Amino acid sequence: MATQIFVNLSVKDLDLSVAFFTKLGYTFNPQFTDENATCMVISDTIYVMLLTETYFQTFTKKQIVDAHKAVECSIALSADSKDAVNEMVEKAVAAGATIPNEASDYGFMYQHSFDDLDGHHWEFVWMNPDGMPEHQG
């Protein structure tokens, strides 16, 4: 069985976040959705749990980071092409995301990012398998 990953993110407005990520083409598992949380499906093995801040706080004694002011992590997902990277970022901007950095093209790798409505940082990356640099060991 493949390992699954569940990324947990706090959100200020669950309905707004669901609407935002729906515009990016993601779906949600109704079995794990209520007024406190939802399970966004990225792939067969990758899920993002969007939790209201109040509910998220029940899982930790630590302060929840305001992702508009500090970065706790960067969520990076692969894409099938440079165009797919750009399309996802364009959808995100149209849905209300902000662009923290310009796209980067390293020849063998292309990446672009956005910050979602709650400030969480998302990177989309395309890697050219034919252009990978040789490992220097």
Assess whether 89 and 134 both reside in one domain.
yes
> What is the domain extent for residue 86?
65-137
DSSP assignment of 12-77, as one string?
S-HHHHHHHHHHTT-EEEGGG-SSSEEEEESSSSEEEEEEEHHHHHTT-SSPPP-TTT--S-EEEE
The encoded tokens of residue 68 equal 């508009």
pLDDT score recorded for residue 137: 57
pLDDT under 50 in the chain at which residues? none
Assess whether 135 and 91 both reside in one domain.
yes
* Distance between CA atoms of residues 54 and 134, nearest Å: 47
Whether 9 and 51 have beta carbons less than 8 Å apart is answered as yes
Assess whether 51 and 5 both reside in one domain.
yes
Q: In what order do the strands lie in the sheet with 46-52?
A: 5-11, 46-52, 37-41, 27-29
Query: Of 41, 20, 32, 34, which Cα lies nearest the Cα of 93?
Result: 20
> Among residues 60, 85, 105, which one ends one of the domains?
60
SS3 (DSSP) at 127: strand
Assess whether 6 and 35 both reside in one domain.
yes
* Distance between CA atoms of residues 51 and 10, nearest Å: 5
CA distances from 33 to 9, 18, 75, 82 (A): 14, 11, 22, 33
